[in-house]
Amino acid sequence: MRTKAASTLSVSGPLVIVAIAIGVGLPGSKAQPWPLWEAYSKRFLDDQGRVIDRSADDRTTSEGEAYAMFFALVDNDHARFDKLLKWTEENLAQGDLTTHLPAWEWGKTASGEWKAIDANSAADADLWMAYTLIEAGRLWHDARFDNLGRMMAAQIARKEVVLVPGIGTTVLPGPKGFHPDPDRFILNPSYLPLPVLTRLAKELPQGPWGAVVTSLPALIDGANGSGFAMDWVAAGPDGVHPVAPPVEPSAGQREPQAAGSYDAIRVYLWLGIANPATPGKREMLASLPAMAIYLKTPGAPPLEVDAKGEVLHEDGPVGFSAAVQPYLLAEGAKEAARVQSDRLRALRDPASGLYGEPPAYYDQNLALFSTGWSEDRFRFERDGTLHVQWK
């Protein structure tokens, strides 16, 4: 990008050195290489801008596209950002993100056709994408991105934001399938990243976002299972309590039960990377002490805990260690955070530059957020404004 200060300079010779020395962002400039993002892009991102989950039949999700757009912005990777946005709009949003939230899943159908499999949108992806577009508009001085992000936020407010009795205004996981009766709502706390919501509240004060931020501590507090974050909760006049995921079990699988696992791990991550001064952060951390207590004994985070706080399965994957590391630092558990960082480094494959063997898509995304934050590649201000290393 070219800032106002840089627009009067020639971008050649010694002036480039001067510009970099005073911190002016130039087109394509990067503070330093991001090896994990490059390794991730090589394995999971194709030339069109499609993020491929190779552990799930090569499907693509709106979550993957949204996260990759955020990482591309953090890396000042404008070319990849443009491809990601274009592919998402054309394949997940019927060619128009101003009127269609992206379908959450795209892949190969039973008939062999590659297309959107489930048109329902996913609020976590929608929120991250709207936020990233608004911040891209600001950092890259591109009004199109800003306008698109604001229009996406307006769609989310219209299609996914609800008033839940006893909790207040919050965001459904998607427009359809999460409101089984008039007084009962199914929610996913990991879909509500505090920095993102706080920034939307600042940028769009006429929207519902301030109310969503205000209700979040009560949701997190009611959603915890003996101090652990839970994947799914039910909310209504009788309060908030953990529930089984809203899916039908596959043949041979046990009946789903309320638990904290692959979704809930992001609750710790979002709180950990939020600015310490963000309103509500300390209150929500106080609702979730159990993970820090559990990790006082060195080892991996649990893969799954139940609503009573009992560990159902130990030894979560490497991405879980990445996700809890900022949370542990926020809790003042420096030694436990060091143990998780050591595990992360020990499980990095020097050949691929990725974590785990084979490297799983979800683990790498958790690691990109966590290590990008710990390496100061990005930070959030108190109001959720994004700071990037290259700016």
Using CA atoms, how far residue 355 sits from 255, 269, 340, 362, 371, in Å, is 31, 17, 13, 10, 12
Using CA atoms, how far residue 367 sits from 226, 315, 355, in Å, is 26, 17, 8
CA distance 151 to 89: 13
CA distance 367 to 363: 6
Per residue of the chain (391 residues), give pLDDT as tens. 333 333 333 333 443 333 333 333 444 555 589 999 999 999 999 999 999 999 899 999 999 999 999 999 999 999 999 999 999 999 999 999 999 999 999 999 999 999 999 999 999 999 999 999 999 999 999 999 999 999 999 999 999 999 998 899 999 999 999 998 888 999 999 999 999 999 999 999 999 999 999 999 999 998 888 999 999 999 998 889 999 998 765 555 667 899 999 999 999 999 999 999 999 999 999 999 999 999 999 999 999 999 999 999 999 999 999 999 999 999 999 999 999 999 999 999 999 999 999 999 999 999 999 999 999 999 999 999 999 999 8
Catalytic residue annotation: 63, 124
CA distance 299 to 239: 34
Burial of 140 (0-12, 13-18, 19+ CB in 10 A): buried
DSSP 25: P
| Ranges of each domain in the chain | 1-27
Q: Retrieve residue 320's tokens.
A: 């879980």
CA distance 165 to 235: 8
Q: Which residue has the tokens 């649990």?
A: 302
Q: Are 61 and 88 in contact (CB under 8 A)?
A: no
DSSP per residue, 195-248: HHHHHHHHH-TTSSHHHHHHHHHHHHHHH-BTTB--S-EEEETTEEEE---SSP
Residue 104: count other Cβ atoms within 10 Å of its Cβ: 23
Q: Retrieve residue 40's tokens.
A: 């991730």
Amino acid identity, position 237: P
